Structure 1
Amino acid sequence: MHQLVRLEVRRALRNKKFLFFSVVHPTALFLLIGGTRNGTTPVLGTELTLAAFYMVAMASFGALTAALMGNSERIAKEREKGWVRQLRLTALPGRGYVLAKTASAGVIALPSIVVVFVVAAVVKDVRLDAWQWAALTGAIWAGSLVFAALGVALGYLVSGDAARPVTMIVYFGLSLLGGLWMPTTVYPQWLRSLAAWLPTHAYAALGQAIELGHAPQVSDVALLTGYFVLFAGAAAWLYRKDSLKA
């Protein structure tokens, strides 16, 4: 399994288009959205400044891109090309393949987080305690595994041709409704109630709590854990179902 993780990481790091959308794109969005005003501009309905809010939002968005987009389409195409069928002939168990895909997506999500943090600190003068930087990195990285598992599930759910449009709908829907592009405090009440149950909303809330010097809400951690179990379980079930077809 470790060899498969290393292979997946090397493949991702050689993909310039993937690196652009998972690292450069969220950083550019942070500079365009979060860097348009001074560092003391508050975000409506929160105790965070604009720069601090969008630092966490775009770091989470980049990690989401790496974890979700990096898995779904690649797995769907690998199924069609017979690569997954070949792996089943090896000693790698089914759960090892799912875990390897999830773990590799988590590894390549890390640069997305770090680059946004560095740019925020250097360009927008975002200042946090050392423990906050470490906690933010760990929380956003760990949370990205939820979306890595979702990517694996989508890769087994749809065909290679349908993988990209389906994933893009899920990707943009979760990002927009969950509050990664704009604070949910500007949404109407019915939409805020819906957003509160989305994994991306809880994901962003982890980092926002840490920025304010608090521990993440238990409800947010529980919601993300529940989604991870759901997505990972779905991925495992779909993998077994796909195995019976082969």
Structure 2
Amino acid sequence: MNSSSIHAPQWPIYLAEARCELLRVLRTPAFVVPSLAFPLVFYLMFGVLLGHGQASVPLLASYTVFGAMAPGLFGFGIGLALDRERGLLTLKRALPAPPAAWLVARVAMAMVFAATIATLLIIAGGLFGGVQLAPMQACALLAVGVFAALPFCAIGLLVGSFAPASAAPAVVNLVYLPMSLLSGLWMPLSVLPPVFSTLAPLWPAWHLGQLARMAVGLQAQGAAWAHVAVPLVIAALCLLLAQRRLRRE
């Protein structure tokens, strides 16, 4: 083996892994259709039709985060659990490829879906909700959507590293749906008992929702740096716990 093969660039491997992961997901309509359709349908229903335009901008922000949660949680939480059960994760470790290639590929997939969902919501808000975002606001909301995928990839990774394949969908939904509600993504926390507003800063989705509100020019609670730091800390903790778990297998 010559020195040129030893020091060959690894980015083509990461790119190929990401391409294969995206193609795999696109061939799974049971994942693609709900991930893209649910946030859009909910926004059109509650933000446009029932909200009569008044809730268009706030719900555009919150449903951008809601839409970014699903690809990471389900892509990692259920996908990883299935890979562990089928032995595919062990096979990937034995392949002559960078150990993190599959991880980077799935994160990239989740970010692509989050960006697509945010784009669809921005277009729907402009066409049907009367939302007029400045170009910088639209770009900022898109960036928040992409960033929001990261902590939920880590949470999904943690779920997928512990939960068996048969239980992973239930565990993911127990994270996805209650956290969306308790973070104020579906309805204002002011309509719930005060304890829910007190506990809201514990959830990464709440912090991301505040960032999304800032992106579209709405009033938000807390500082932007805290809303960035808390999801990153939670993501790092979940990644560390998942890494320890996977090393034992």
TM-score in terms of structure 1 length? 0.89
Query: Match of 1:220?
Result: 227
Matched, 1:229 2:243: no
2:116 is the alignment partner of 1:111: yes
How far did 1:3 drift?
Answer: 1.9
Give the stretch that moved more between structures: 209-218 or 25-34. 209-218
**Stretches of structure 2 lacking an aligned partner (at least 5 in a row):** 1-13
> Cα–Cα, structure 1 residues 56 and 28, in superposed 2: closer, same or farther, change >3 Å?
same
**Separation in 2 of the partners of 1:198 and 1:177?**
8
Residue 86 of structure 2 corresponds to 81
Write the distance in 1 (CA, Å) between the matches of 2:201 and 2:181.
13
Distance change >3 Å, CA 5–CA 239, structure 1 → 2? farther
Pairs aligned (count): 233
Q: Are 1:164 and 2:169 counterparts?
A: yes
Q: In 2, distance between residues paired with 1:181 and 1:14? A: 30
- Once the two structures are superposed, residues 135-165 of structure 1 have per-residue CA deviations (whole angstroms, 9 ceiling, x without a partner) of 1101221121110111112111110111111
After superposition, what is the alpha-carbon deviation per residue over 1:180-239, rounded to whole angstroms, capped at 9, x for unaligned? 111122222211111122101001111101211789622211111211211222222222
- Find the counterpart in structure 1 of residue 17 from structure 2: 4
Matches within 5 A, 1:77-226: 77-212=82-217, 217-226=224-233
CA 82–233 in structure 1, closer or farther in 2 if over 3 Å, else same: same
Query: Would the alpha carbon gap of residues 152 and 13 (structure 1) be closer, same or farther in structure 2, given more than 3 Å must change?
Result: same
Deviates more, 1:86-95 or 1:143-152: 86-95
Q: Which residue number in structure 2 is paired with residue 47 of structure 1?
A: none
Q: Percent identity?
A: 27
**Cα distance in 2 for residues equivalent to 1:64 and 1:37:** 23
Partner of 1:38: 52
Contact 2:39 2:66 in 1 (8 A): yes
Q: Which has the larger radius of gyration?
A: 2
> Which residue type is aligned with residue 229 of structure 1?
A
- Indicate the RMSD between aligned Cα atoms, in angstroms: 1.8
Q: Flag structure 1 segments of 5+ consecutive residues without an equivalent.
A: 42-49
Question: Which shifted more, 86-95 or 27-36?
Answer: 86-95
Q: Relative to structure 1, is the Cα distance of residues 59 and 206 closer, same or farther in structure 2, using a 3 angstrom cutoff?
A: same
Q: Deviations over 1:90-122 (max 9, x none)?
A: 123443433333232222222111111111111
Following the alignment from structure 2 to structure 1, what is the Cα–Cα distance between the partners of residues 219 and 192?
25
1:23 corresponds in structure 2 to 36
Q: Give 1:125 deviation, angstroms.
A: 1.4
